[in-house]
Amino acid sequence: MKTLTTEDKAYLLDKIRDVPDFPKPGIIFKDITTLLKDAAAFRFLMDHLEARYKERDIDFIAGIDSRGFIFGAALADRLQKGFVPIRKQGKLPYTTIGEKYALEYGFDEIEIHIDAFDCDKAKPNVLLVDDLIATGGTAKAAANLIEKSGAHCVEACFLLNLKFLRGDEALSKVTPVYSVLEVD
């Protein structure tokens, strides 16, 4: 399995813009659009992810709304696997199943179609993909939703892990976690 060097990680991290005080004062937003618009950097990232997962027993890639769609769909294409969007409540047109998760004040819910992982396998293997893990609430709900649907979440993969928020620790109780880059 291909691993990234310190220089490789620095290259990718340098392509991500920090936006201070967004969406509110005190937050430093990690803007991935600067990486996405750099064709060479995006290809480098996707080459790494393809090398990491091409030999794994994966039946589907699931991406979390909305930036997980970008990385997840691109990886699904490279691996020749189906892509399943995990959407916010009320955004999918067919019958869905959902999973609620706690927010700072209240709850939210994500959903997938009831037939999202239909295939000739009794318990399909699913790779969960998103751009960033912070507190891990949405990702944990997504992994639980995959399991609730009758599939198996083999791993959750993120471009960025905000280690200081410890979301990866909570999520690792549900599924293995891989992050390309970590920020302390």
pLDDT for 106 equals 84
Domains of the chain: 57-183 (3.40.50.2020)
> For this structure, is 104 an active site residue?
yes
Distance, C-alpha 149 to centroid of its chain: 18
Q: Is the pLDDT of residue 1 over 50?
A: no
> For this structure, is 52 an active site residue?
no
- Please state the rounded mean pLDDT for residues 84-111: 94
Burial 101-112 (b: 16+ CB within 10 A, else e): beeeeeeeebbb
Mean pLDDT of the chain: 96
CA distance 156 to 162: 14
- Of the residues 43, 55, 104, 109, only one is catalytic, namely 104
**Alpha-carbon distances of 15 from 34, 39, 66, 112, 156, rounded to whole Å:** 6, 11, 20, 32, 22
pLDDT band at residue 61 under the 50/70/90 scheme? very high
- Of the residues 67, 78, 166, 182, only one is catalytic, namely 67
Q: What's the whole-model pTM score?
A: 0.96
- Please state the rounded mean pLDDT for residues 97-122: 93
C-alpha radius of gyration, the chain, whole number: 16
| CA-CA-CA-CA torsion sign (173, 42, 37, 88) | negative
pLDDT band at residue 146 under the 50/70/90 scheme? very high
